[in-house]
Amino acid sequence: MDEFGLIDHYFTRPSRRPEVVLGVGDDAALLALPGADRHLVVTTDTLIEGVHFALGAPGYDVGYKALAVNVSDLAAMGARPLAFLLNLSLPAIDRAWLAGFREGLFTLADAVALDLVGGDTVRGPLSVTITALGTVPPGGALRRSGARAGDRVYVSGFLGEAALGFFTRSGRLALPPELHAPVLARLDRPLPRIQEGQALAGIASAAIDISDGLVADLGHILKASGVGAEIDLRRLPLSSAYDAAFATVGYDPALVFGDDYELCFTVPPERVPALAGITPRFSCGFHYLGDIVAGHELVLRDGQDVYAPARSGYNHFDG
């Protein structure tokens, strides 16, 4: 049983409350509060030392990334950030580490206008759980389930740079030294696409953030929407750092590693001009990868050949 099967089997139930517009199974839940003119968007993520970040990772990077992964889920819903809760489990009070953690946390919180409004602090193994809240107009959220055959598939920014950062830090990849800092920054301090997500609301038919890799996360859109897709790998947006590593690593880090926190989304053909209209506002760019098709398969093409990556993405409890 994998992570998603576990959630389906044990924790997915029919909603009992009319206020629950969208429950378990998307990037965030949607709640309609009586009398409010916007829906509440709620998401949570846990980062554990030794699992999601290395033993001894700097406090700044842990604080920043713990919030970034949650903000990225708000972005994938097209939400406007509101507030967050912080649950921190610490083995001891390490003042220098906590000062860095605080700085990383609030640097991103300030950048996206999120207020810390509560939480809990306990003694235990180092782990960080953040619950982030945002808002959307009723009916305005981006979901995973809206893709239809004929829609185009896009991704923001570059893919695979976080993977290159991971391989560089672990000594498995020897990039030129001047490329180390950019790829490590992409791994440690991803830029959640919060403005982009809000601009895509009303244009995209479905969206998800890329936490587990394009193959896995686009796969979630396909499953939720009941469709397939054909992707042209030669359209993958790869940075100059990735180009420098391509002969060594091939396509897979851009397809199955994850941690990019870019947005993958689909756009109906009639809304492609609207997408072109907002694109100049965002330096990350929106890159066309291929098309949604009938069926349920994700087909990756490298020219005339069908390509199969080594594994389909990060998944706790797999294997």
* Binding region for Mg ion (CB under 5 A) out of 22-30, 140-148, 165-173, 224-232: 22-30
> Is 259 an interacting residue with respect to Mg ion (CB under 5 A)?
no
Q: Which is nearer to Mg ion, 27 or 188 (CB)?
A: 27
Contact assessment for residue 140 and residue 202, using Cβ atoms and an 8 Å cutoff: yes
Which positions ≥6 away from 195 have C-beta within 8 Å? 281, 282
Size of residue set near Mg ion by CB under 5 A: 3
* Binding region for Mg ion (CB under 5 A) out of 27-35, 61-69, 220-228, 249-257: 27-35
Among residues 21, 22, 27, 200, the one that binds Mg ion under rule CB under 5 A? 27
What's the one-letter identity of residue 8? Answer: D
Beta-bridged to residue 99, according to DSSP, are none
* Nearest-approach distance from CB 211 to Mg ion, in angstroms: 5
* Nearest-approach distance from CB 158 to Mg ion, in angstroms: 18
Cα 230 to Cα 147, 155, 197, 224, 293: the distances in Å are: 13, 14, 23, 17, 7
Give the per-residue contact string, 190-229, with Mg ion (x = CB under 5 A; - = no). -------------------x--------------------
Q: Which is nearer to Mg ion, 73 or 262 (CB)?
A: 73
53: left (phi over 0), alpha (psi -120 to 50) or beta: beta
Q: Which is nearer to Mg ion, 21 or 241 (CB)?
A: 21
Q: Which is nearer to Mg ion, 241 or 264 (CB)?
A: 264
Q: Which is nearer to Mg ion, 61 or 73 (CB)?
A: 73
* In the complex, residue closest to Mg ion by CB: 27
Give the per-residue contact string, 35-74, with Mg ion (x = CB under 5 A; - = no). --------------------------------------x-
Element (H, E) at 42: strand 39-48
* Nearest-approach distance from CB 132 to Mg ion, in angstroms: 11
Q: Which is nearer to Mg ion, 75 or 126 (CB)?
A: 75
Residue position matching structure tokens 């009992």: 16
What's the one-letter identity of residue 271? Answer: R
* Binding region for Mg ion (CB under 5 A) out of 26-34, 59-67, 232-240, 284-292: 26-34
> Is 260 an interacting residue with respect to Mg ion (CB under 5 A)?
no
The encoded tokens of residue 289 equal 């990868």
CB-CB neighbours of 172 under 10 Å: 10
Q: Which is nearer to Mg ion, 27 or 259 (CB)?
A: 27
Element (H, E) at 103: helix 95-112
Which positions ≥6 away from 31 have C-beta within 8 Å? 19, 20, 21, 39, 40, 42
Q: Which is nearer to Mg ion, 79 or 241 (CB)?
A: 79
DSSP string, 105-120: HHHHHHHHT-EEEEEE
Q: Which of residues 156-185 bind Mg ion (CB under 5 A)?
A: none
Q: Is 222 helix (H, G, I), strand (E, B) or coil?
A: helix
> Is 151 an interacting residue with respect to Mg ion (CB under 5 A)?
no
Q: How many Å apart are CA 27 and CA 217, to the nearest integer?
A: 10
Q: Angle at the Cα of 188 (from 246 to 110), degrees rounded to 5?
A: 135
By the criterion CB under 5 A, which residues form the site for Mg ion?
A: 27, 73, 209
